[in-house]
Amino acid sequence: MKTDKLDHPLTIIRAQVPALIELSSSGAIINMMRILLIEDNRRLSTSLKLSLVDDGYAVDTAFDGVEGQELAEMTPYDVIILDIMLPKRDGYEVCRELRRQRINTPILMLTARDAVEDRVKGLDSGADDYLVKPFAISELLARLRALLRRESTDKTGVITVADLTIDPATHDVFKAGKPIDLTAKEYSLLEYLLRNPNRLITREMAQNHVWSYDYDGASNVVDVYIRRLRRKVDEPFDVKLIETVRGVGYRIRKPAE
């Protein structure tokens, strides 16, 4: 997948954000692909965040259990990656407290402990999956996709609208059967739109989702990427899918059956 000047990794800073619940114009909740990473090893946290951002996710980080729990309580995430051995409050306690508050975000626990009883304790505290360090980033990404598929009606993970198909596992994109080459950010924006067909996505929503809260670049970045997507997935083909809602944002218009 190509990279370009606007696809550089985000600066690694702690996210201090208000709660965010995104709604379409009809009041329906918009699907997000945002991850909270709670890991006290800053070198590992930085490495994981860069890999996740490169794979198209928006990522917020916390370095202790108290900070991580606060972020999880005030922001709706798609997945939480939670280390067990954390300062101030360990991962077991964080997980149990989130479940007690009925925060049902999928939780993937990370730990250096590989004993069966440790895995059982993590799962019984409310975690959905458990990954032992050291691990391959490819396995982490596969487990994240599996957790996200649990909420999807299509268990293959492939997303299709009209003649446009994307595969989140491989980032392959096809329009009318022809492969489309996208950069990482172009793909991430297209996936976000396709996961919410016919729903209005404002510029602010797209920027928060694709570029995370700590993005400090051009204010028209969403418009720039929409133009790029149109040149690749709309203009060369008969079926046009990307629709502009003037002064507000964009949506994928799913053709009538």
The pLDDT confidence band at residue 7, using thresholds 50, 70 and 90, is very low
Residue 49 contacts residue 94 (beta carbons within 8 Å): no
**Global confidence as pTM:** 0.59
The pLDDT confidence band at residue 26, using thresholds 50, 70 and 90, is very low
Contacts of 255 (CB under 8 A, 6+ apart): 162, 239, 241
* Mean pLDDT score, 195-205: 87
For residue 27, pLDDT beyond 60: no
* Mean pLDDT score, 214-241: 87
* Mean pLDDT score, 169-177: 89
Is 99 or 5 the better-scoring residue by pLDDT? 99
Domains of the chain, earliest start first: 31-149 (3.40.50.2300), 159-252 (1.10.10.10)
Residue 216 is predicted with a pLDDT of: 57
Q: Range with the lowest mean pLDDT among 16-30, 100-114, 159-173, 199-213? A: 16-30
